[in-house]
Amino acid sequence: MLSRLFGFDSTKHRLSTEVVAGLTTFLTMAYILAVNPAIMSACGMDKGALFTSTALVAALACLLMAVYAKLPIALAPGMGLNAFFAYVVCLTMGYAWQTALTAVFIEGVIFIVLTVTNVREKILEAVPDSVKRAIGPGIGFFIAFLGLQNAGLIVRNEATMVGLGNITSASALLCLIGLAITGALLIRRIPGALLIGMLVTTAVGIPMGVTHISGIISAPPSIAPIALALQWDQIFTLDMVIIVFTLLFMDLFDTLGTLYGVAARANMIAKDGSIPWIKKAFMVDAVATVSGSLLGNCTTTAYMESTAGVTAGGKTGVTALTVGVCFILALFLSPIFLSIPASASALALILVGVMMMSTITQVNFDDYSDAIPAFLTIAFMVMSCSISTGIVMGLLSYVAIHLLSGHFNKLTLPTLIVAAVFALKFVL
């Protein structure tokens, strides 16, 4: 049954490893249960309903990934996409959140069409190898940067934009302690090192005053205030076209980058650079986005934190299944899950960032036509805090450098078309 439903092979995989991998992924992305309602409630949506919706959408998407795609990849309402939804579409452009949900629904339907017609796969094939190889390290730096920020080790600095935080603060100190403990576990090759390290760090945080457990069980709030609230009166406006296009762009490259990064970390990329299972993963992403909009949430996307579970040994849909079950349990055990401090999840992000550096050695830095696009992919991904922006800047620089240097034979028609289309990001 496990083989048929989730692609689990007892001769190749260990059930305990898959479960631990799922728990590890969940713990690194459980923050979305608190952060997503906080962001999206800014536009007037019910915060309690958003908590329940976030857990339901993530659970549904993960279960779909487990059964249909049979992959160790977790999904949830997307960071960045939720901020665009609330702060740009609603608070800046002035649209009601119901209209924004409608844009998410339309985007999801379009993505289903693009996936069925293989357009999303063709876009992946059009991305040059040097940019692809930089995606994993770029995501690694990006999530490590997020982890350092979440722990208070890196903070805003008016003079230099970012700077070193107060490393003697309880939060930062706890993260450093956790890094040392978890690093030692990894060096000793202890199974489930990341998960064990996070749990130990959470426990250490109790006497330090960082970990706060306020309860155990609570009933989930109703999603009635935000479910099935689509509004169609603005769909034929230019603004709606721009909103849908922007959501399409962000979701496409965020998902593409995450899937490629996870595949690279899990050694699930074919020798020719293709990812055989990517169409199924794209379909799950698209269907989950449509379903999520009906449940009152923003675009659903694959999470880069999946690399934590893959690093812990996750290879099959059992990992995604475990994440989905955890999100269902979180509906009733939110006080416990939300008590895991940022310092504990931050250490996992930092260490996974280290692990994702491996493919950088595959970039030919002696050839500037490959080195420059790869470097810009990483640099823009980290400094703009956007996976999609990094990929686009890498792609555009690749095309520009090869055109100006006369290396036309390295440019394919699909690459030129994709570069031209997504250059519109900077025009609209």
Q: Is pLDDT above 90 for 172? A: yes
DSSP-assigned letters across all residues of 94-134: ---HHHHHHHHHHHHHHHHHHHHTTHHHHHHHHS-HHHHHH
Q: How confident is the model at residue 427, as a pLDDT? A: 63
Round the average pLDDT of the chain to a whole number and report it: 83
pLDDT, tens only, 96-105: 888 889 989 9
Q: Tell me: the pLDDT tens digits for 9-32? A: 777 778 888 888 898 888 878 778
Whole-number Å distance between alpha carbons of 173 and 171 = 6
Region 166-170: mean pLDDT is 92
Domain ranges in the chain are 2-212+235-358, 362-426
Handedness of CA 31, 67, 260, 390 (dihedral sign): negative
Q: Decide: helix, strand or coil at residue 355.
A: helix
pLDDT of residue 244: 80
- Give the rounded percent of residues in the chain with a pLDDT score beyond 90: 23
For 407-427, give one letter per residue: b (16+ CB within 10 A) or e. Answer: eeeeeeeebeebbeebeebee
pLDDT for res 178: 93
Confidence of residue 40 (pLDDT cuts 50, 70, 90): confident
The confidence band for 59, taking pLDDT boundaries of 50, 70 and 90, is very high
77 phi and psi, to 5 degrees? Answer: -55, 135
Q: Record the pTM.
A: 0.72
**Which of 129-133, 153-157, 369-373 is predicted with the least confidence, judged by mean pLDDT?**
129-133
Q: Which pLDDT band, with edges at 50, 70 and 90, does 337 fall under?
A: low
pLDDT of residue 426: 67
273 pLDDT band (50/70/90 cuts)?
Answer: low
Q: Output the six-digit token pair for 361.
A: 């050695």
Question: Quick check: 132 and 360 in contact, CB under 8 A?
Answer: no
What is the H or E stretch that residue 302 is in? strand 300-302
pLDDT at 347 over 90: no
